[in-house]
Structure 1
Amino acid sequence: MSKALIVCGHPNLHQSTANQTIIETLRQTLGDTAHIRLLGELYPDSQINVAAEQAALLDADVVVWQFPFYWYSLPALMKKYLDDVYLHGFAYGSNGTALAGKKLIVSFTAGAPAAAYQYGEAMNYPVEDFLPPLRQSAVMCSMDWQPPVYSTDIMYVPGVSSEADREAVEHKARAHAGRLAAQIRTLINQEAAA
């Protein structure tokens, strides 16, 4: 049976309304077809078990990197995961073909509204302009880059935001998880039919 591996790189998932809701929704929606790895809980000391993470990757047909968009990129823990786990000889290089053909979906949340991600606006660029390093990472590992799943204007700050804001973020996060789950299911079904 085809499987999805969801690697959540949020460093403090218990403090995140959006990413926590996405992960909980995916867990309920996808059940046994997805293996979810919460890096912040598994590695609070940032000492990543490379063998365990590589084994999880080998067992998956679809890989999802789930994270909040920090400074237009990955959170430090997610970047460390890539640095430590996606090694030469495993993920890339003349002998590194372990990830070849696996589908990669980047899935992330951003606090700023969509209108801010335009040329000349607050973020100065569209979201897609920030993604080439992630896409090239997939290319380097011979992974099959899939359309990203992302949500903007998805921020809740306890003590600052209202209860209505929290409910709106949870609603957007569930919709995000629904789009991601649909894409994962489609890819798993394609892999199973191949």
Structure 2
Amino acid sequence: MSKVLVVSGHPRTGDDSVANKTILEELASLLPGVEIDHLDELYPDYVFDVEAEQNKLAAADVIVLQYPLWWYGWPALLQKWMEEVFVRGFSHGSTGTALRGKKLVVSVTTGASEAYYAPDSVDFNNLLTPVKATCALTGMEFAGSLPLFGVSYANRTDEAARADMVERSRLHAQRLAEFVSSL
């Protein structure tokens, strides 16, 4: 199997997430040998060890970005990580070839239902433009996205809604593991 790196971009996975936390826990058990990079745990102050992060990326064959959709994009933690780690000379430019040929998968959770992201309103595919542009710049292959809709953190205090969210997140992790394993 390919070497898989999952980069978790949720800034508060431990205390503010049900869906992303469940997905990451399931992936750890479903994909033996997967490396999960918990940015919130490693860098709570948003000060990154750029060399360590670049080494993880360089060693991976498949990179999965796992994050909640916040204001139609990725959280600030993941944005800052991208800005500091994906630099000219590493990820792009005449000598920046470290990511070429690697597959990138986006696994994203949303609070809103799938109906909200219909092409005639807020087309979900348009929200992936920064990811696709990053792939074009770096030579990575955009392998696809797996969204999990309707897992709002606002529902985490309702026991039935929380149980449903956990179950749906586990199923999402299974689909994601199968998809990543097929690459």
Q: TM-score range by the shorter chain?
A: over 0.9
Q: Partner amino acid for 1:29?
A: L
Once the two structures are superposed, residues 112-157 of structure 1 have per-residue CA deviations (whole angstroms, 9 ceiling, x without a partner) of 011111255xxx3121121112111111100010110111111233
What is aligned with 1:71?
Answer: 71
Matched, 1:162 2:163: no
What is aligned with 1:43?
Answer: 43
TM-score by structure 2 length? 0.95
- 120, 125, 128: which is aligned to 2:125? 128
Within 5 Å, which residues of 2 pair with 1:77-116?
A: 77-116=77-116
Question: Using the alignment, how far apart are the partners of 1:178 and 1:19 within structure 2?
Answer: 13
What is aligned with 1:29?
Answer: 30
Q: Partner amino acid for 1:186?
A: S
Once superposed, what is the RMSD of the aligned Cα atoms? 1.3
Q: Identify unmatched segments of 5+ residues in structure 1.
A: 188-194
Give the conservation status (yes or no) of the 8 Å contact 1:156–1:165.
no
- Report the alpha carbon displacement of residue 161 of structure 1 after superposing the two structures with TM: 4.1
- Report the alpha carbon displacement of residue 22 of structure 1 after superposing the two structures with TM: 0.2
Q: Identify unmatched segments of 5+ residues in structure 2.
A: none
Question: Using the alignment, how far apart are the partners of 2:49 and 2:89 within structure 1?
Answer: 17
Question: Using the alignment, how far apart are the partners of 2:123 and 2:24 within structure 1?
Answer: 26
TM-score by structure 1 length? 0.90
Identity %: 41
- 135, 139, 142: which is aligned to 1:142? 139
Question: Using the alignment, how far apart are the partners of 2:58 and 2:31 within structure 1?
Answer: 19
Paired residue total: 182
- 155, 174, 177: which is aligned to 2:170? 174
- Report the alpha carbon displacement of residue 3 of structure 1 after superposing the two structures with TM: 0.5
Question: Using the alignment, how far apart are the partners of 2:68 and 2:153 within structure 1?
Answer: 13
Question: Using the alignment, how far apart are the partners of 1:90 and 1:155 within structure 2?
Answer: 36
- Report the alpha carbon displacement of residue 175 of structure 1 after superposing the two structures with TM: 1.2
- Report the alpha carbon displacement of residue 183 of structure 1 after superposing the two structures with TM: 1.1
Q: Partner amino acid for 1:27?
A: A
